[in-house]
Amino acid sequence: MKLAHLADLHLGFRQYTRQTPQGINQREADVALAFRRLLDDVVEQRPDIVLIAGDLFHSVRPTNAAILDSFHRLRQFRVRLPDAPIVIVAGNHDTPRSSETGTILRLFEAVDGVHVVAHEPQRLVFDALELAVLCVPNLAWSMLPRPSVDREPGIRRNVLVTHREVEGVLPYEAAAAVGYGGQPIRRTDLRPDAFDYVALGHYHVVTQVDRNVWYAGAPEYVTTNPWSESRERGAARRAGEKGWLLVEVGARLTVRFRPLPPARRVIDLDPIEGTGRAAADLNRAIADAVAAVPDGIDDQIVRQVVHNVPRITARDLDHAAIRALKTRALHYRLDLRRPEASREPGLGPATRRRSLPEIVDEYLRARDLPPGVARERLLALGEQYMAEAESGDA
């Protein structure tokens, strides 16, 4: 039996200011294009069932354009692949925090063969496939009692589909970028020994967690820091690849990553050291770094980090040239990092004054947190926001 494991499509995701000629945010259009390419590739592989492990939409209330396009695409998809059921499990982005609030995902139940599990755990049994699918939405892990994760007796194949961060898998930067998802769960919570396959959503990099436990990753970059994500290799053949997983469940489990062509490249240029360099010298270094990019930066997503740049030097940079780079790229971020502040008092040994990021970090480590707030994630968010603020590009 073949199953398609998809996750974290984040339809309706918007970023940056560029728009298409039709007036749609360019990144929203890129994500919609990735969705169409994904469905086309799934149809070619002819799976027996399609599992969407959360975050079909980027927000609880997506735009009308995202809703209409996704409904139209899934309805066409069912016509092209009529015998394969589609199971959609809600993630943290596309389901309300309260189970009493309705979810837009229910709309897709109007499409024949689509099954939506939004709030409480539910087991779906497909007799023709001899398959039981236990669906545990993201919200269910935050409710009491905790979900009961067990194999369905008497059924040949059992699969678990859920959306959550697994403890010890996501880097701190990734945990901050993918947004609020609740307390991580332990690997043992997934009971991998009880299932033929465990399909995870939430982490946007394809990753093997256990022998039969996988994150499918996201088909596009849908985070605030795509450059860090582009360096995370996961289980893809090359760092930054996006796609989905084709899984064969039988006497031997086979998991194959299916890469998708990106709408545009995410380019993180080599950092430039600014210590002791004049503005004119940094201008040349920035221009040389851009000129060395294969195929150029036009319409791409680009970041250039420059370390240890004093404010007076940053002020004297060629801002007209920087604006020109921003016009060429879909998004060009010049991330200027200030030198660490230090002072030497008149008497006694030299002492170092704490920087603002260090003060913020110390405060976040010491303050009391409400239940359910992960301190390490809070620290990662604080570090990310301070870096954006200091770069002047927040």
- The reported pLDDT for the residue numbered 351 is 54
- Tell me, what's the pLDDT at 177? 57
Which pLDDT does position 237 carry in this prediction?
64
pLDDT of residue 31: 97
Per-residue model confidence (pLDDT) at position 347: 53
pLDDT for the residue numbered 344: 55
What pLDDT is attached to residue 342?
Answer: 61
Domains annotated on the chain, with CATH: 2-259 (3.60.21.10), 266-391 (no CATH)
Distance CA 277, CA 308 (A): 9
pLDDT reported for residue 372 = 67
pLDDT (0 to 100) of residue 72: 96
pLDDT at 394: 44
pLDDT 10s digit of each residue in the chain, 394 long? 999 999 999 999 999 999 999 999 999 999 999 999 999 999 999 999 999 999 999 999 898 999 999 999 999 999 999 999 999 999 999 887 665 667 899 999 999 999 999 989 999 999 999 999 999 999 999 888 888 899 999 999 999 999 999 998 887 666 555 555 678 999 999 999 999 999 999 999 999 999 999 999 999 999 989 998 888 876 676 667 899 999 999 889 999 999 999 899 999 999 999 999 999 999 999 999 999 999 999 999 999 999 999 999 999 999 999 999 999 999 999 999 999 866 555 555 555 667 788 788 777 876 766 666 777 788 778 877 887 776 655 4
